[in-house]
């Protein structure tokens, strides 16, 4: 007997009409604090990437190339390094039971209306990076709104169940994830949309000036478009130009320059 526990990867905003939370990005990090945080983030990211690569290089088991160990009863492998910044979480690799990032903090960016406090959080290094990304976009005349960042295991379950009720299980699996296999649970992923709030987590976001800017500049801030167009058979998800995943600047630039996915990156090392 298999219990259906399901969660979301993308979050559709069905009634996005008013956005009282659309205040300008007002946080300006002081120069000395910024430099210390940037150095710490870069050093930590380098350590994480090297550890991740070494972990993969030291194993001869192809399945272990994805930072995984034990398999659960559904045959999904459980990652053993959930705190690693470049951790691979997807339909084949899930987070440990009851995992919750220890360093969640509030982001300082505008969100669409009616977003719970939980979904405004990210892991500390990712939150600092997304603050900078939003500021960089604003400097280039691009207005962005965040839709959803961190989601707890319970929130994921409730969200995906609603998709199943609406679209059916198989359809929902093309854009959402089972509990523990959603990147939002890592605290390293965030969905964004245009400043007017339209096309939030919808296909119509693709091709907008905001989506184009993200494709061209997200990597400069350590983010990748996690589910790129034409890679559905690899990622297991439809094209999601709004879904950003923090992996650190060095790795993001490498993945973006090669036009590959996180799965393909780990298959290379």
Are 219 and 252 spatial neighbours (Cβ–Cβ below 8 Å)? yes
Answer yes or no: is pLDDT of 188 > 60.
yes
Answer yes or no: is pLDDT of 23 > 70.
no
Which residues are catalytic, by number? 240
Query: Tokens 């992923």 identify what position?
Result: 189
* Number of domains forming the structure of the chain: 1
> Per the domain annotation, does 113 fall within a domain?
yes
Give the model confidence (pLDDT) of 190-240 as tens digits.
Answer: 999 999 998 998 899 999 999 999 999 999 999 999 999 999 999 999 999
Q: How much is the pLDDT for 48? A: 53
Q: How much is the pLDDT for 9? A: 42
> Per the domain annotation, does 14 fall within a domain?
no
> Per the domain annotation, does 41 fall within a domain?
no
Confidence of residue 71 (pLDDT cuts 50, 70, 90): low
> Per the domain annotation, does 35 fall within a domain?
no
Which residues constitute the domain of residue 176? 48-268
Count of residues in the chain: 269
Mean pLDDT throughout 105-114?
94
Residues contacting 128, CB < 8 A, separation 6+: 29, 37, 41
Q: What is the value of pTM for the model shown?
A: 0.73
Instruction: Outline where the chain has alpha helix (H).
Output: 31-57, 124-139, 153-167, 169-173, 209-217, 232-235, 249-258, 262-268
Mean pLDDT throughout 58-70?
40
> Per the domain annotation, does 5 fall within a domain?
no
> Per the domain annotation, does 198 fall within a domain?
yes
Most confident range, picked from 66-70, 159-163, 184-188, 201-205: 184-188
CATH of the domain at 209: 3.30.1380.10
> Per the domain annotation, does 222 fall within a domain?
yes
> Per the domain annotation, does 245 fall within a domain?
yes
């Amino acid at each position: 007997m298999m219990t259906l526990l399901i969660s979301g990867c993308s979050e559709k905003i069905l009634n996005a009409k008013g956005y009282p939370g659309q205040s300008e990005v007002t946080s300006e990090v002081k120069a000395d604090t910024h430099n210390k945080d940037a150095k710490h983030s870069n050093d930590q990211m380098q350590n994480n990437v090297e550890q991740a690569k070494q972990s993969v290089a030291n194993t001869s088991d192809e399945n272990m190339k994805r930072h995984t160990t034990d398999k659960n009863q559904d045959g999904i492998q459980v990652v053993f390094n959930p705190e690693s910044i470049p951790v691979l979480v997807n339909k084949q690799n899930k987070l440990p039971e009851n995992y919750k990032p220890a360093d969640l903090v509030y982001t300082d960016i505008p969100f669409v209306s009616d977003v719970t406090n939980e979904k405004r959080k990210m892991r500390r290094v990712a939150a600092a990076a997304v603050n900078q990304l939003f500021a960089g976009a604003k400097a280039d005349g691009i207005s962005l709104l965040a839709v959803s960042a961190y989601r707890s295991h319970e929130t994921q379950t409730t969200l995906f169940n609603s998709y199943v009720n609406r679209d059916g299980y198989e359809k929902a699996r093309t854009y959402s994830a089972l509990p523990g296999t959603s990147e939002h649970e890592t605290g390293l992923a965030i969905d964004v949309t245009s400043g007017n709030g339209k096309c939030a987590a919808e296909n119509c976001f693709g091709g907008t000036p905001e989506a184009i800017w993200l494709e061209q500049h997200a990597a400069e801030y350590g983010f990748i478009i996690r589910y790129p167009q034409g890679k559905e058979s690899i990622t297991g998800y439809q094209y999601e130009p709004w879904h950003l995943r923090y992996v650190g600047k060095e790795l993001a630039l490498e993945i973006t320059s090669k036009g590959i996915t996180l799965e393909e990156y780990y298959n290379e090392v």
